[in-house]
Amino acid sequence: MKTITAMLTETVSAAFESCGYDPSLGTVMVSDRPDICQFQCNGAFAGAKLYHKAPMIIAEEVAGKLSDSSIFSKAEAVRPAFINLTLSDEFLAEFCRNIAKDEHLGVEQAERPSTIVIDYGGPNVAKALHIGHLRSAIIGESLKRLARACGHNVIGDAHLGDWGMPMGLTIAYLSEKYPDWKCFSEDFDPEKDAIPDIDVKELNEIYPAASARSKEDSDDGRAFKEKAHGMTLMLQSHKKGIYDLWKKLVSISVGDIKKICSQLNVDFDYWYGESDADEYIPELLDLLGSKGLMHESMGAMVVDVAQEDDKAPMPPVMIKKTDGSVLYDTTDLATLIQREKDFKPDNVWYVADKRQTLHFEQCFRCAKISGIVRDETRLEYLGFGTMNGADGKPYKTRDGGVMQLQMLLDTAYAAARERISAENFTAAEEAESTARKIAVASIKFGDLINHRTKDYIFDLDKFLSAEGKTGVYLLYMVTRICSVLRKLGIEDSGDISIGDIYTDAERQLMLCIALTGEAFNRAFTERAPNYICENAYQLAVLFSKFYHDNHILSESDENKRAAWINLCRLVKRMLEKHLDILAIDTVEKM
Ligand code: ARG
């Protein structure tokens, strides 16, 4: 289904044309002044320059043509030369009727669907998921669902951090803590020798300790770092024992990561890691070598990617270190070879922290000049801002440490549990699962309501409030509609037939429904789920007003009552669709 502005643009363009003007002047937008009109067209200004005429004359001619149309209740030219438009109730109701019949609820489907790979989440093996991964996971999940809802073919990939120096550090640390483990000895036999079990909690504590030790300015620190380099290299050359230990670390860690992701409704089509790019590294080296792009620099192999018009320094991409080990840039480039082979994507989106801008710029340039990706492939880095604490600095635990994601979820759950009314629930499990959903909804909505590029302050009290732009408010609104339908004995299934418009509150609500397609388009174009949050909130507020103004339960006029009930059902479906894009579960009651 076309969006409403696209439809209106067709009508207004035809009016321009029939007055003898270029139809491209007829672009219609949502009004800047909703108090005056619903839509506007500013084409008369450009027309005035083109045809050397007073703009107001053109606006008046075109508005005159439009005023007969059944689409508008009002089409008027207003000084200096705006064309202000307000829809007729018949047209607005008809448009909403079509939305209700449309399986995509009015969300425009891509004419030529793109294949989009979304690289998001980016959890690291043997490192507990911390809040830095929260944003990537929830923004990425939402972008994936949004792009799918717009008709694209979307592939989500976790791109686990499982292949670089952090793994070497973890393994080096384990080799000192457990020197007797068979995997560290030369005569390790994968057929006979098992790798001992490691508790995930212990595993997650190792990396921070190992990383701190390698940074110490002491002989021990330097020697340890050297050892970790050695382990990284052994891992990357698949040395038996080390490689087997690594496989075990990955499986323990990924099990834990999956658990947390599922609490957040985050799921990947592929759980590929940096290590899966390993088999494409020889091809990458060949390609860069044969094109003469790679050269030696202080023992390392690098590719220059600076351009003449660079305003800031652009260091070369480091492909291979002096010791032969490969780096973050290398695996990202090799991963593009793999993605090209497996998926031939039109777009690759990377949802990662804003601080990785340079890394991605370097990789993208290298991928283009070397021809790893086709000219027409669009590589997009979708950076996001930081989640801060009340002090405006990156969110920390009470004692100043890095907040683990599980701890954050548990804190939100405990707070949500206190707020729901126990008497509403007969079974304890039901109360618990509701509180979990509320906790997740509040965290996710609190994040996604901000444009992804912005920093925001994590304020659990605010996020859990039942008023204002919160996930809780939206969940509450859905439960309210459910309860109205229950009271009316309405089974919410099957077709919805939208009736006529009787009151102003309905008109406003229907206009918001009609504009939903625009919100989805904008969110998709800007890769920004906050427009989905915003639209969901508007729908909820207008629903609330509509419900307050019109007494559905006591209404005696059959037609009115039926129209209102159907509108309730449509709003419910719409809200559920928005929440599904945000990967937020609804609740029955709270
Ligand atoms: N694992 C990385 C980190 O924690 C994020 C990965 C982002 N994606 C990528 N293709 N480099 O910082």
Could you tell which of 119, 120, 363 is best to mutate to test the pocket of ligand 1, judged by most ligand atoms within 8 Å of the CB? Answer: 119
User: Domain 118-160+268-388 has what CATH class?
Assistant: alpha beta
- The pTM of this model reads 0.95
3-state secondary structure of 555: coil
Give me the residues paired with residue 347 across strands. Answer: 116, 378
Question: Tens digit of pLDDT per residue, the chain (590 long)?
Answer: 999 999 999 999 999 999 999 999 999 999 999 999 999 999 999 999 999 999 999 999 999 999 989 999 999 999 999 999 999 999 999 999 999 999 999 999 999 999 999 999 999 998 888 887 899 999 999 999 999 999 999 999 999 999 989 999 999 999 999 999 999 999 999 999 999 999 999 998 999 999 999 999 999 999 999 999 999 999 999 999 999 999 999 999 999 999 999 999 999 999 999 999 999 999 999 999 999 999 999 999 999 999 999 999 999 999 999 988 899 999 999 999 999 999 999 999 999 999 999 999 999 999 999 999 999 999 999 999 999 998 888 888 777 777 888 999 999 999 999 988 878 888 888 899 999 999 999 999 999 999 999 999 999 999 999 999 999 999 999 999 999 999 999 888 889 999 999 999 999 999 999 999 999 999 999 999 999 999 999 999 999 999 999 999 999 999 999 999 999 999 999 999 999 999 999 998 88
Query: Is the distance from CB of 475 to CB of 588 less than 8 angstroms?
Result: no
| 307-311 LR contacts (CB < 8 Å, sep 24+) | 307/365
| CA pair distance 309, 312, nearest whole angstrom | 9
CA angle 320, 321, 324 (to 5 degrees): 75
Nearest to residue 291, comparing CAs of 274, 304, 310?
304
CA-to-CA dists, residue 130 to 340, 394, 445, 455, 507, angstroms = 31, 12, 18, 17, 45
Query: Which residue, by CA, sits nearest to atom 12 of ligand 1?
Result: 122
| C-alpha 441 chain-centroid distance | 15
CA angle 538, 425, 488 (to 5 degrees): 55
Half-sphere exposure for 524 (CA within 13 Å, toward CB): 24
Q: Where are the beta strands (DSSP E) in 214-329?
A: 294-297, 300-303, 317-320
Q: Is the torsion defined by CA of 359, 364, 367, 369 positive or negative?
A: negative
| CA pair distance 447, 459, nearest whole angstrom | 10
Q: What is the pLDDT of residue 265?
A: 97
Ligand 1: atom nearest CA of 274 is 10
| CA pair distance 409, 419, nearest whole angstrom | 15
The amino acid at 239: K
Nearest to residue 326, comparing CAs of 168, 172, 157?
168
For residue 161 and ligand 1, the question of a CB distance below 6 A is answered with: yes
3-state secondary structure of 575: helix
User: Residue 259: which residues within 8 A CB-CB, separation 6 or more?
Assistant: none
Give me the residues paired with residue 41 across strands. Answer: 28, 83
Q: Is the torsion defined by CA of 532, 538, 540, 543 positive or negative?
A: negative
Could you tell which of 118, 120, 124, 359 is best to mutate to test the pocket of ligand 1, judged by most ligand atoms within 8 Å of the CB? Answer: 124
Query: Which residue, by CA, sits nearest to atom 3 of ligand 1?
Result: 122
Tell me, in angstroms, the distance from the centre of ligand 1 to residue 242's CA. Answer: 23
For residue 329 and ligand 1, the question of a CB distance below 6 A is answered with: no
Nearest to residue 564, comparing CAs of 483, 481, 491?
481
For residue 157 and ligand 1, the question of a CB distance below 6 A is answered with: no
Q: What is the pLDDT of residue 175?
A: 97
The domain ranges of the chain are: 4-87, 118-160+268-388, 165-247, 405-581
Nearest to residue 166, comparing CAs of 174, 158, 154?
174
Q: What is the pLDDT of residue 492?
A: 83
Q: Does the domain at residues 4-87 carry the CATH identifier 3.30.1360.70?
A: yes
DSSP conformation letters of 69-101:
-TTEEEEEEETTTEEEEEE-HHHHHHHHHHHHH
Could you tell which of 120, 157, 159 is best to mutate to test the pocket of ligand 1, judged by most ligand atoms within 8 Å of the CB? Answer: 159
Query: Is the distance from CB of 255 to CB of 192 less than 8 angstroms?
Result: no
Tell me, in angstroms, the distance from the centre of ligand 1 to residue 262's CA. Answer: 19
Cβ-based burial of 251 (10 A; exposed 0-12, middle 13-18, buried ≥19):
exposed
Give me the helices (H) in 237-375, please.
242-263, 281-290, 328-343, 357-370
Tell me, in angstroms, the distance from the centre of ligand 1 to residue 194's CA. Answer: 31
CA-to-CA dists, residue 185 to 178, 282, 560, angstroms = 11, 28, 81
Tell me, in angstroms, the distance from the centre of ligand 1 to residue 360's CA. Answer: 10
Tell me, in angstroms, the distance from the centre of ligand 1 to residue 257's CA. Answer: 15
Tell me if the bond preceding 394 is cis, omega within 30° of 0: no
Query: Which residue, by CA, sits nearest to atom 2 of ligand 1?
Result: 122
Write the pLDDT tens digit of every residue in 241-296.
999 999 999 999 999 999 999 999 999 999 999 999 999 999 999 999 999 999 99
Write the pLDDT tens digit of every residue in 542-584.
999 999 999 999 999 999 999 999 999 999 999 999 999 999 9
User: Residue 433: which residues within 8 A CB-CB, separation 6 or more?
Assistant: none
Q: What is the pLDDT of residue 86?
A: 97
| Radius of gyration (C-alpha) of the chain in whole angstroms | 29
Topology adopted by domain 405-581: Isoleucyl-tRNA Synthetase; Domain 1 (1.10.730)
Query: Is the distance from CB of 454 to CB of 385 less than 8 angstroms?
Result: yes
Nearest to residue 536, comparing CAs of 571, 507, 566, 588?
571
For residue 349 and ligand 1, the question of a CB distance below 6 A is answered with: no
For residue 172 and ligand 1, the question of a CB distance below 6 A is answered with: no
